[in-house]
Chains A and B, each alone.
Chain A
Amino acid sequence: MSKKPHSDPSDGEDALIKDGIAGFLNPAEMFKLRRLALLSRYTVEGNLAGAHRSPKHGPSSEFASHKPYGMGDDPKHIDWRVMARTDKYYVKQFEDETNLRVYLALDRSASMGYKSADIPTKYEHACRLAAAVGYVVVKARDSVGLFLHSEKVDVRVDASNSFQHLNNLLKHLQKSPPSSGSGIAATLHEIAASVSRRALIVVISDLLGDEDEIALAMARLRKQRHDVIVFQTLDPAEMDFKLMKACELFDLETGETLSVDPSALANDYRKAFEAFIEKYRKAFAGMNIDYRVVRTDQPLDTFVRAYLEERRRLSK
């Protein structure tokens, strides 16, 4: 990789990057992310040779198992030591290494359009997060795909490992602002049904749906041996509920209104919200799903960097 990817416009790769994800990440952020890698904690099924473990046997140097010699097997793989001991022919099998397919499941429900003060909306922040993850994935020659959904999957982009692909993928995000309605659980089921081979599913959503149904959908993804990462994107006002004056709030998804006195409700609201978060935390921990809460007032590059380094550390 070039040492100055963002400083030389003549560089073709950098030019592509700028054209594709310039709307989400600035060069400084991309520079910070360039050496990071998103590793899967489990075996994945790719279509190219790569750095990730595959469930198939392949030409790698890592021994996997023995199998009786059969028709078509290359005699050079016969394990002569085993034959000397057992007088039978066994062939050595080696693990295959493949590339990683990452699917970004991005929520564009109406609630993702919320923002307080001068910070990005949850959707904008989620898009930038998706762009950062996508950039890291493509940079590592892995493939990235997209499921953009609201009540259903609105946009599906298959996984590919080119920056051109990433650029096109992100353009879909730009074209699709938050819409009304939310159906996270249903869309996750839809994703589970459509992605049959083991992959890394990155769910970026505020998860403001039915906790149990969402957990069930997540469990299905895990059952299909997908590695799942959940980034729950939340606004600080949503978490802290530090509104000053009495006001009338309307639900971004249902349009319902409610007059509230924030000072009177703040404590109970926080308790309810914390219970909600805790429920996800427990459920996802039980399913070995990597669950993180992302505040929209948090610097994105810092978060991505901290998260990926922690994940790399834990994967060793």
Chain B
Amino acid sequence: MFLAPFFLIAAGLGALIPLALHFMQNKRKVKLPFPTLRFLKDAQKRSSSRTRLENILLWLIRTFIMVLLGVAFSMPIIKTGGLGWFGDTPRDVAIIIDASYSMAYKNGNAEVWDNAMEAARNIIEGLKEKDRFCVFIARAQPEALIAEPIGNKQEGLARLKTLTFGAGSSQMLPAIEAASQALKKSQSGYEKEIHIITDNQALPWQGFARSKTADEASAASKSVVEPGTSVFVLMLGVSNPENTAPYSVTMEPAIVRKGSSAKIKVTSTRTGPPTSSAMTLFLDGKESGRRPVTVPDPATSTGEFTLPPLGVGIHEARIEMPDDNLLLDNKFYFLIDVQERRPSLIVGSATDTLFVRTALVSGFAGLVSMEIVAPDQLSGKKLTDYSSVILCNALPLTGQAIGSVEGYVKAGGLLIVFPGTKAVPEDYKAWVCLPGVPSAVNLVPPMEAKTTLSWDKPLHPLVRPMQEGLGAAELSVRRKFSWEKINESAVVLISMGAKHPFLLERSYGSGKVLMFGISAERTWSNFPLSPFFLPLVLQCTEYGSREKEPFIWATDSLALADYFPDLKGTPSMTDPDGNAVQIRSTADGGKTALIAADLKKPGIYSFSATADSKARPAFAVNLPRNESDLTTISEEEIKSLVGIEKLHIASDLATFAKQTSENRVGKTYGEQLLWIVLILIVIEFIYANKLARRGRDAVLNLKPDSAGNLNLSKEAVPGT
């Protein structure tokens, strides 16, 4: 295919020029006298074949030069992919747009996202009549904006206008898989292209990093992208992005009590060269403190704030860092729940709870209040008022009581279970949240009664203080459980002897369950009388007083029951801008669960349990900070990582358009041909000169001296 086929005629005519010149030169030859032609005829006999060959070679070179010159000016195009040399082969284009929030990075006056939208519009508008397109949004899981190829550009542009970037990160691999699946439905004869619009961030390409070697990547890419599909990547981000963002917040101690002080540790992260920055803490909307911080790259740095005494209640807080090119991650929201110390609810008879009560009273010196109820009174209690529920030989319980306790745990409460003789193994099976189910209570022979406690998880916050200064933990055990099954998510914190679980922990919902393998009374062992009992019980109750996470990451949906176990009626939620958050109910195992949808806007969400009740801060939502890492990826890295055969990468719209155009229309080789012509001209010049000089530069052997004597060299005369 030629862009200027007219020049092909010129090429044809040009090919005749050397021949025509040859004939014209013959006609215009000067006629000169010469003494005799006999030597010339001899010479011609000798050199005619060689001369003819040289002349033919020169003629060929000159003809080739003229033809190539004409062809070069006709701008030949050799299509680089697909079929359809001369026709317009229709194509199906899958457009993938990276919608991670790093696309909000400001590049000059516009955000990368704006440029991405413009590029997407250009792609759609640039499609020809028979071309079709589909659009996929690359997020953590790909979304189909237009799932199957359509030809209606107006519809595509209209849908594109509704698109916004997300609150999370993106992954290219699933998006390319989805796009490739959509293109598999293409009609035969359609070319397939995938256009990826993204920034220069390395994060979206991590999915391809599973393939360790280039061969693996190539094999993997072949399974993802159908052979023959051309993939174009438009990287609109900046090559050296800079970003500083608060990364996480932790509080020490984890429980903030009324009147007590606490520290807030803020970790910040940095992409780009080291810089000095500042963190500002806002409490309930007012600035509470500011800390200068130097953020190196790529390490993180920490700033520390001391909280002023706060009143009981939930306080809104946020950390702010100065504005940079990526504004979305400069604020980090969290909630500080300041509480009175809450009482523990001890369930069991006076006898069964004796040692636990004694331990708590003596351990906290009366600071910890507690309440003791009989097992049958448990269902009437509002469990969220208690920091922990301790069951001392309290089983079996009614189903209602079990549901109430499990809901409490799921919402973040702590359940401590001391077994006893009242329950049989079947009574434990009615529970869902327990870490293990005993199969029997075994009597231990007196000879085997003595056992030593071993710390299976010595670094566990509950166990770690127990190891210090208490010496060897030996017990005399008379009865113990044999376990029918241990839950998969349960962790054995302390064992008796070699491997017999003594204390198990299991996370359930937002809460924890701690279950002992022996009772809290003397008939089972001497554990209540041992020096470990009191500190262990105290540690357990304190462990259960942990706060909930002060923030959550932006999410599509959130089960409210996990955070508000005592939720009843129709709650309402508002986002940071005061707009209502959609709450929908779904059936979950016969129960109705309330789900708050689309918690993606960073900030403080408010919650009202009922329409009439007062709204209170519910969640502090932050964007996931992995997108704050703007580490870039180079074109070469993408190519080696992805391993797709026909992968073209551009960093600007013009190059991208050129690449797609060249792939579609072909690439002109005019320039290359002109270079070949130039080389041929040089070769012709050198060769022709050499032939011409050969006559002039030949060594003269016939040199008569002044007296006419000949000095003839031997080589001059054949046969001499």
Interface string of A221-258 (1 = CB under 8 A from B): 00000000001000100111111111111111110111
Q: Are A292 and B695 in contact (CB under 8 A)?
A: no
A239 → chain B closest CB, angstroms: 5
In the bound complex, what is the Cα–Cα distance between A302 and B700 (angstroms)?
A: 22
Contact A278 B712, beta carbon cutoff 8 Å: yes
Q: Cβ of B694 < 8 Å from any Cβ of A?
A: yes
Set of chain A residues within 8 Å of B26, measured between Cβ atoms: 259
Do residues A246 and B29 form an inter-chain contact, with CB atoms below 8 A?
A: yes
Is A298 part of the binding interface, using a Cβ–Cβ cutoff of 8 Å? yes
Q: Does B158 contact A (CB under 8 A)?
A: no
- Chain B interface residue count, CB cutoff 8 Å, equals 45
Partner of B698, one of A111, A250, A267, A293: A267
Q: CA of A256 to CA of B37 in the docked complex: distance in angstroms? A: 8
Q: Mark A258-274, 1 if CB is under 8 A from B, else 0.
A: 11111111111111111
Cβ of B35 and Cβ of A248 under 8 Å apart? no
Asked if B36 and A292 sit within 8 Å, CB to CB, the answer is no
**Interface: A294 (CB within 8 A):** yes
Check if A251 sits within 8 Å of B720, measured CB to CB: no
Q: Write the chain A residue with the least CB distance to B691.
A: A263
Shortest CB–CB separation between residue A133 and chain B, in angstroms? 13
Q: Which of A258, A271, A293, A298 contacts B37 (CB 8 A)?
A: A258
Collect the chain B residues with CB atoms within 8 Å of residue A254's CB. 37
Binary contact readout A47-63 vs B (1 if CB under 8 angstroms, 0 otherwise): 00000000000000000
Q: Return the CB mask of A179-210 against B: 1 if under 8 Å, else 0.
A: 00000000000000000000000000010100
**Pair B709/A275 contact, Cβ less than 8 Å:** no
Q: How distant is A292 from chain B, measured CB to nearest CB, in Å? A: 3
The answer for the CA separation of A240 and B694 in the assembled complex, in Å, is 13
Summed over the interface, the residue pairs from A and B with CB atoms below 8 Å come to a total of: 159
A289 to B: closest C-beta gap in Å: 13
**A306 contacts across to B, CB distance below 8 A:** 705-707
A277 touches B710 (CB 8 A): yes
Nearest CB of A to B53, in Å: 11
Determine whether the beta carbon of A268 is less than 8 Å from that of B712. no
Closest to B690 in A: A263
**Interface flags, B15-34, vs A, CB<8A=1, else 0:** 00000000001100111111
Query: Could you tell me if A264 and B47 are in contact, using CB atoms closer than 8 angstroms?
Result: yes
Closest CB in chain A relative to B551 CB, distance in Å: 91
Q: Is the CB of B40 within 8 A of A274?
A: no
Contact A274 B717 (CB under 8 A): yes
Is B42 at the interface (CB under 8 A from chain A)? yes
How far is B289's CA from A130's CA once the two chains are assembled, in angstroms? 126
* Interface residue from A114, A261, A265 paired with B33 (Cβ < 8 Å): A114
Judge whether A277 and B695 touch: CB under 8 Å.
no
Contact of A252 among B35, B55, B702, B706 (CB under 8 A): B35
Question: Within B661-720, which residues are at the interface with A (CB < 8 Å)?
Answer: 691-696, 698, 700-702, 704-710, 712, 716-718, 720
Tell me if B32 and A271 are in contact (CB < 8 A): no
Which residues of A lie under 8 Å from residue B25 when comparing CB positions?
Answer: 246
Are B40 and A269 touching (Cβ within 8 A)?
yes
B39 within 8 A of A: yes
Q: Which residues of A contact B (CB under 8 A)?
A: 111, 114, 122, 206, 208, 231, 235, 238-254, 256-278, 281, 292-295, 298, 302-303, 306-307, 310
**Contact sample, A vs B, 14 pairs, CB 8 Å cutoff:** A114-B33, A235-B35, A239-B700, A248-B29, A252-B36, A262-B695, A264-B694, A269-B40, A270-B698, A281-B712, A293-B702, A294-B704, A295-B704, A303-B706
Query: Which B residues are within 8 Å of any A CB, using their own CB?
Result: 25-26, 29-44, 46-47, 51, 54-55, 691-696, 698, 700-702, 704-710, 712, 716-718, 720
